[in-house]
Structure 1
Amino acid sequence: MKLARFLHSLLALACLRTAFAMPPQAECLIPSKPGGAMDLTCKLAQQALHADTELKLSYLPGGVGAVAWHTMAAQRRSDANTLVTFSGGSVLNLALGKFGKADADDVRWVAAFGADYGMIAVRADSPWRTLGDLLKALKRDPKQVLIGMSGTVGSQDWIKMALLARLTGIDPRAMRFVALEGGGEQFIAMGAGHVQAVSGDTSEALLNAGDGKIRILAVLSEQRLPGRLAGVPTAREQGYDVVWPVIRGVWMAPDVREADYRRWVAAFVQMESRPEFAELRERAGLYPFSLTGDALTRYIKQSIDGYHRQAEQFKLLREP
């Protein structure tokens, strides 16, 4: 009897290990072109998960996330080995109906494992040295300043500038924006002189700040950020009370088996518990933010409600 119980225990343990074993290779799908924060998010997961699985990076830009969303929902609904990166901007687009009739329950939210903040930047040789300088120029003639952003009117980059403009007495719809696909393109466009300012995120700015060619005018955080951005004032410090945190993480297709979904949730919980993860996250320019599984799903739904309220302020919601 003892031998039988022992063998039964070994079998149960083997089954449990098999159920939660990571695949030897999986895919992280990036819904933008290389070089932006979406790319950075998948690369962080790739580095942090390397002991468990090899994560291959793929790019599927288009519609600021809409193409990747609909590809997974329509063609790869049961794909248990593909993660798709998302940001707070993806959730905003979902709230605004930019993914069609999709809603938060159409995918499975796995993990959010970092955050960064909105920021406003110009070229290092720009005449604008503070956020106030830029906003005064916009107030004098909003048509004379081209602002690069990821997405179109209603995107999170647009709303950041709209909130700042409204505090300055500028009609946000009077500003001129150039819609680009991801943070990498924004900084390329500014470097080439096609736009004079960028509304983006701190992680993207850090990717492009090393050569000294850009000047970050403000970070949209509650207080100054540590590390390389410690010398950059917040918008609040400069008299503009705008804060814009941006979470970053991954989701999966809707019909993934429960066991596979829980396997990935557990993998990210374990990933974030490792001592080296905090260092990897910091090197990626991200700040602590951790939610997985059901808790993340609740957070996403609450965020959508909040974005709806902001969208109503700017009359961005589509008529039913």
Structure 2
Amino acid sequence: MDLFDLMSQGREDKALDRLEGMLALYESESEAEQDEALERARAFCDLEWGSYPAGLEVLARRCATRKGDGAEAAMQALRLHEEGAKPGSIIRAVRLSRLREMSRVDERAAVIERYGSIEAVLRPTDFETVFISAASSGGSVAEIEAAVAAAQPMPAGIEAARMEALRWEARLRHMELVAEPETQPPVLPPACAARHRLVEEAWRRGLPVASIADFSARLEYWSGRGREDCSGYAVLAADFETLAQGLSIRGTAPSTKDRARALKEANPEWSLARIGKELGISRQAVHKHLKGAAVSPAK
């Protein structure tokens, strides 16, 4: 490398150092300062390398070749590539992270206010105590599951199973919000964790579909939590077939009009009011259904 190359390399290194300084301001507490830094960096890259993406590409290459940084250097290079393709992406990510942290702080305060104290959040609730007491004798996993299933009636439908599963997950979320960062993440008591497993399994595939609401609840499970082995497709296909058969059976049932006419034919002496009472409809509705029938409606 000759003197000219060394001088050129030194100049580019200084330019990259300056660009890195501008990018460091992307994490400023002031959004105005962030926006100003982005404008300055884009103008500087246009001047030095012809475009913002080109400047970030050079900086990304330097980050990727730094020794000792390893995975962190590689991740930084990827972030710079993305920033070059989508200017402002680093700033947007920083702002989103701060919004989430602010939301977490607010959520934590609301949880503490709801329970009364951090200690109360971490103590078993009355609902949890029911299952803890039921499984207090210990035993195998199967015995604990049997005990917690008997302690409170298991959900009768998929939607109810979903609601209880989400209730347990919300409870765990509350404990996580107030736990100290340096401590082990909180977990549900073993009996409560067993109950959670049971209701989640009922939500996942354990209960039969009885309504469109049930199918919707199960679809929510598999769309958001399903494994990558595509096993959810088989569950949902079977549920859909069950639901379709049920709808088909209901669809072939006699209409109210047919039932009204059948009752009149079988009981010609019945009044419109009597037929209406039998069908759960008004006298006027019965009269409308019997119009044009072979039998004359009684008054």
Q: Give the alignment's TM-score, normalised by structure 2.
A: 0.25
Give the number of the structure whose alpha-carbon radius of gyration is greater. Answer: 2
Question: Which of the pair has the greater relative contact order for Cα pairs under 8 Å at 6+ separation?
Answer: 1
Between structures 1 and 2, the one with greater helix share = 2
Q: Give the alignment's TM-score, normalised by structure 1.
A: 0.24
